A = this chain, B = another copy of it.
Amino acid sequence: MKKNCMRAIPYPVIQRLPVYHRELTELASRGVERINSAKLAAKIGITASQLRQDLNLFGSFGQQGYGYNVPLLLVEIGKILGLDRTFEMVLVGVGNLGMALTRHPHFRKRGFTIEALFDVDAELFRTDVGGLPVRPLAELAGYCQVHQPDIGIITTPEEVAQPVADILVKGGVSGIWSFSSTRLCVPENVVVENINLIDSLMSLGFRLRQAQGADELQTGQSKR
């Protein structure tokens, strides 16, 4: 019983979908057949209301008085997430992080495969990362024309993130997974997902201080 015309899904919901998928995978692997929203939500750390609200954006997968069938719900969420297809990716910037991502085995398992690597450093052209040759950046545009990758991964230095994004966009990728701090300018039909390590660390630093500040207040050692 699919929902109508798929209105835009709120970003917070999108972020929870992989979490649901992982939890259900775990349950299914343990042979659990059936679960209700209260228990599943508790495992994830959200309310049952929110879980049901989220699922019902996509359809009605449960049954009153019974709950949800684990394997069935797992399949449905997999479909929603597009795990029934594969995404071809190219990676630009074969530094430490780029290499680590290339060698990361988990992406392929979920249907995200890195098909080609690009860099400007001629030293790297001889090397081989995770079984893939490193190609000159100059070949990126041509490669995209021929192979039509879905996603471009940007792990370059800041200064070239935007120009690389431009090449990828011209090359026709539909999505960019960027690890740079630069807010990329791309046409609105291109989706950008950003992972910003420094920002994440700075947020952590802030919250750390805040927590410690709170501790101090509790122990009566406020700074003011």
A binding-site residues for B, Cβ under 8 Å: 6, 8-9, 14-15, 17-19, 21-22, 44-45, 80-83, 87, 95-97, 99-101, 103-104, 106-107, 110-112, 150-151, 174-175, 177, 181, 183, 189, 191, 193, 195-213, 215
Complex contacts, A22 vs chain B, CB 8 Å: 181, 199
Complex contacts, A189 vs chain B, CB 8 Å: 211, 215
Q: A143 to nearest B CB, angstroms?
A: 19
Question: A14-B203, A18-B203, A203-B15 known; A106 and B198 CB under 8 Å?
Answer: yes
Question: Once the chains bind, are A208 and B175 in contact (CB under 8 Å)?
Answer: yes
Question: A100-B100, A177-B200 known; A209 and B82 CB under 8 Å?
Answer: yes
Closest partner residue, chain B, to A80 (CB atom): B206
Majority secondary structure, A binding face: helix
Q: How far is the CA of A16 from the CA of B95 in the complex (A)?
A: 27
Question: A80-B206, A81-B206 known; A195 and B193 CB under 8 Å?
Answer: no
Question: Once the chains bind, are A204 and B177 in contact (CB under 8 Å)?
Answer: yes
Of the listed residues A9, A17, A96, the one surrounded by the most CB atoms of chain B closer than 10 A to its CB is: A96
Q: How far is the CA of A177 from the CA of B208 in the complex (A)?
A: 11
Question: A193-B200, A198-B18 known; A205 and B96 CB under 8 Å?
Answer: no
Q: How far is the CA of A195 from the CA of B82 in the complex (A)?
A: 21
- For the complex of A and B, the 6 pairs showing the least CB-CB separation, nearest first, are A96-B100, A193-B204, A100-B100, A18-B199, A18-B202, A82-B209
